[in-house]
Amino acid sequence: MAQAERFLLDFGLRVAHRSSDGAEILIEGYGPDPFVYVARQAKGQTAKFGGAAYLVETREEPEKAAMIPGASAIVPLESPGGGEIVTLHDPAGHLVHLVFGQRAKAVEELDLEKLVVNYEDVKPRKGKFQRFEPGPAPVHKWGHYGVTYPDGQYRVIYDWYTKILALGVSDIVYRDEKPMTAFFHVDRGDEYTDHHAFFFKPTKPSLEPQVAHAAFEVHDFDTQQLGHNHLTSKGYHLCWGVGRHVLRSQIFDYWFDPSGFIMEHYADGDLVNQNTEVSHEPAGPQTLSIWGPPVPSVFKALNFISSNHSLRCSDLQSQLLSMFFSPDTHVDSQQIEKKGANRASPYAKTATARALLRHIKLLWNLKYRGEHGVKLLLPARRKRHTPPGNKVIWSHQDRSIIFDTAHLRPISICIKIVLSPFDRDYIHHQPFPA
């Protein structure tokens, strides 16, 4: 919890309320919402997403929601702002909370200047200067979030959010002429609202549905960039940014929090209403951003370290173990106790299977991730150079492992695991910094 709180403060949020036992903190921005984020101490070692909440205007809405099969009863909301809450489950199992009667707090004035910009042909700012203070980017509000859905459930999820929750559609993204991702706004008729408050996209094969990311609005680009610099200086792990999206147009900056969830700062997003035309776009990097760093594979393929640790660790283990056996040899977790590395493998001499397992466990305990994936350090057992330029590719179903031996060092090997947008896991060998 201490790490989570430290990150949230550095992210530009503030503590609104803390439980007496310290196991729960409610986090606020400087906008009217009493709180925008709830962090709770996980039970056990698995972090999970606790759902998202929508404000409703009349008590009739939670009363109708409470009649939906699987819904909770309407209960008082014991938190700043008060109100009542009812909880639903969408078809993928994600929690959706409806809140009625919550009192807004006073909006704090932070004296954030609306900059006057000088263009090449119009320069209204004369004799005045742009000056900024470094530090966290103050968060105004929680703006949107996204979840993933199981294979084949697009229409079921789409219908639930448009009919049960009555969200309006903003954009639909297609792959091979089939809809796969959709963005939704809070539909208030002619009134303009944020381009999207929610989106969903497909879950990767063998993974469970989970949260994609949560996004928080900041004042402007300069504030956002200052926040980026602050988070960088604190040593947090960047996911993707800074750049500008195509859909919604906002400037984005994504970060991993200490539990592995992705949190975004955004600024300058679009507004839509019921008369705004729904766009239909093909899937691909060109739909994600118009400028900024290359789209990281971990962003496209979801967070590699997340709620389903055991499944992913097992999948990673089977792939890495295959490095130490010949590419055409089937490997399961029980074999490691019965035999050492297959001497036919060109990498049999880099580490034993037992050492590999030990380092896999360390990897998942440390939960280290960088901008492009996670790293695992394996000790080399023999000082033996491999001929440069040699490559080995091992494939299994829709995943591949690529070894570039031109950059191997005799002392240690760093394996960088990178998820690609094409459902492949690429593992690159490269020198580990001294």
Helix, strand, coil shares, percent, the chain, to 5: 20, 30, 50
Least confident of 80-84, 111-115, 219-223, 365-369: 365-369
Mean pLDDT of 161-175: 96
pTM as predicted: 0.71
Q: Summarize pLDDT for 196-248 with one digit per residue, the tens.
A: 999 999 998 778 899 999 999 999 999 999 999 999 999 999 999 999 999 99
Give the highest mean pLDDT range of 161-170, 341-350, 394-403. Answer: 161-170
Query: What share of the chain has pLDDT > 90, as a percent?
Result: 60
Query: What share of the chain has pLDDT > 70, as a percent?
Result: 68
Tokens representing 114 are 């609306």
Mean pLDDT of 164-193: 96
> What average pLDDT does the chain have?
76
pLDDT of residue 286: 85
Judged against a pLDDT cut of 50, whether residue 328 lies above it is answered with no
Mean pLDDT of 80-88: 97
pLDDT of residue 381: 35
- The three-class DSSP label of residue 429 is strand
| Residue pair 381/343 in contact by the 8 Å Cβ criterion | no
> How far, CA to CA in Å, does 394 sit from each of 89, 234, 336, 391, 417?
40, 38, 19, 10, 14
- Other CB atoms closer than 10 Å to residue 105's CB: what's the count? 16
- Other CB atoms closer than 10 Å to residue 99's CB: what's the count? 19
Which CATH superfamily groups domain 2-106+136-300?
Answer: 2,3-Dihydroxybiphenyl 1,2-Dioxygenase, domain 1 (3.10.180.10)
- Other CB atoms closer than 10 Å to residue 305's CB: what's the count? 23
Q: Summarize pLDDT for 275-291 with one digit per residue, the tens.
A: 999 999 998 888 899 99
Rounded CA-CA distance 327/279 in Å is 45
Rounded CA-CA distance 153/400 in Å is 27
Residue spans of the domains in the chain: they are 2-106+136-300, 309-430
* Beta strands at 237-245 and 289-291: parallel, antiparallel or unpaired: antiparallel
What single DSSP character describes residue 106?
Answer: P
Mean pLDDT of 408-428: 32
Rounded CA-CA distance 214/200 in Å is 12
| Residue pair 393/328 in contact by the 8 Å Cβ criterion | no
The H-or-E segment that residue 288 falls in is helix 285-288
CA 241 to chain centre: 13
